[in-house]
Amino acid sequence: MKPVVCRRLATVILLIGVLLGSCVGFAKENVKMTLWNKRKALQMEADIQMIKEFERLHPGVTVEHVSVTSDYYNKLSVAIAAGVPPDVAQLIATYSLAEFAEAGLIQPLDKCIERAGIQPGEFFPLVWESWCYDGSVWAMTYDVDANMLFTNRALFQGVGVALPETIEELDEAARRLTAVDDAGNIVRMGFVPWLGDSWTWLAAWDGQLWDPVNKQVTADSQNVVAMFDWMASYSRRYDYARISALASQIQEYFRGDPLFNGLLGMQVNGPWAIARFGLYAPDFEWDVIPLPYAPSGKPNSTTGNALTLVIPTGAKYPDEAFEYIRWRTSLEHVIERQKVEPEVTFPARIAAARAFVQRHPEYMPIAVALAGPNSRPYLPTMPVSVLYQNELSKARSQVIQLQVSPQAALDAVTRVVQARLDETLRTSRRAR
């Protein structure tokens, strides 16, 4: 059998009904697996019910769920290094995988995936890509948080502006949607590019953050610099202090509050927002579209991130751990999981997505964007991704406050992250 290859595959939404097998056979007797999760126990009520279902289907296997709500990654790393790891661990977000892989803290899943008959084409391309690092697959996920642009339909109709397809049209819509009071204070912003998961705009600008072949950080590349300058243009046009004054009034951004409360005309958000609109603003009318794109970018783009399932190095029950991961990400279970509402997530499996949008057609734009050729992971999977994100955030703050030029800020990011990357690769615990 050919090895699993990490690559983006052209794909369409097809119904795939394959019953997947486990990695290897294992004795399901007196096995007590441990699963670590970063979220609070109350947030895990649905997942705990699914663990009970797994136990019902796998007699002799029990799963102890451990909620580690503080200093999760450090505690997980220490447990693995000390030889007492959980059997399954959840990582948030996907792009942190490479750091754990490079440190030798998690196991590649290639052989198990091959034996189970799992194929790349069963999942949206960006999902499979996000599991991959240095030629291996390190994790699996059951859903994907695809970032899209949500708009307030009434506000758009009120100013007579069409839904934007390009950055230029987005900027014009933002200008017409922005409102100020007699004192010049902003009472509504059409859009604020740095609110929410702002790195999703790298897809719309086709900004490349690193060269994985040559292991080179490319934060200072032309398209990334242009994206940062675009963000700064909003500070120059509307005044950063006045934008911040409005932003300070926003509560529950990712629930969609600023959109249905009229503080924003547009915002970046994930698929969960649709269910929350129904819960908190049932009469609110909205639209969801792919990210408007820059001249350097590509149309119909989106980015995705997810909570991943991994097997730590030294796990006591690796075969049972993969069976749990296989089951949680299987077509039959994902379809069953979709019935859990109102916290609706969007399935990572293409066949499950097709079944989902048949029941919930309002999610169709998300499925189309995910299946398209211009979707990609939220951030690249690389060994210093968490540091990279932090350095980008610092640079963004400096740029939008007009303290430093985009080029200078990103030159500094490139130097800092490249130095850390070189050191990480030199001291890697993982045999190449």
Residues 398 and 231: their CA atoms lie apart, in Å, by: 11
* Torsion 282-286-287-290 (CA) sign: negative
Helix (H, G, I), strand (E, B) or coil at 123: strand
pLDDT at site 319 = 95
* Neighbouring residues of 261: CB distance < 8 A, sequence distance ≥ 6: none
CATH of 31-144+306-377 given 3.40.50.720, 3.40.50.300, 1.10.150.20, 3.40.190.10: 3.40.190.10
Residues 219 and 341: their CA atoms lie apart, in Å, by: 39
Residues 356 and 350: their CA atoms lie apart, in Å, by: 10
Determine which helix (DSSP H) or strand (DSSP E) holds 375, and give its type and residue range.
strand 375-377
Residues 314 and 311: their CA atoms lie apart, in Å, by: 9
Name the residue among 231, 242, 266 with its Cα closest to residue 181: 242
pLDDT at site 293 = 96
pLDDT at site 344 = 65
pLDDT at site 40 = 63
User: For residue 144, what are its two tokens?
Assistant: 């994907």
pLDDT at site 200 = 94
- Could you tell me the mean pLDDT of each successive run of 10 residues in the chain, 432 residues long? 38 30 54 86 69 91 89 92 95 84 94 96 95 94 93 97 98 98 96 95 95 95 98 98 97 94 97 92 96 94 90 96 96 81 77 93 95 92 92 98 98 98 85 52
pLDDT at site 70 = 86
Beta bridge partners of 147: 303
**CATH class name, domain 147-299:** alpha beta
What are the structural domain ranges in the chain? Answer: 31-144+306-377, 147-299
Q: Taking the model in full, what pTM does it have? A: 0.89
Residues 105 and 314: their CA atoms lie apart, in Å, by: 9
Residues 255 and 419: their CA atoms lie apart, in Å, by: 38
pLDDT at site 259 = 97
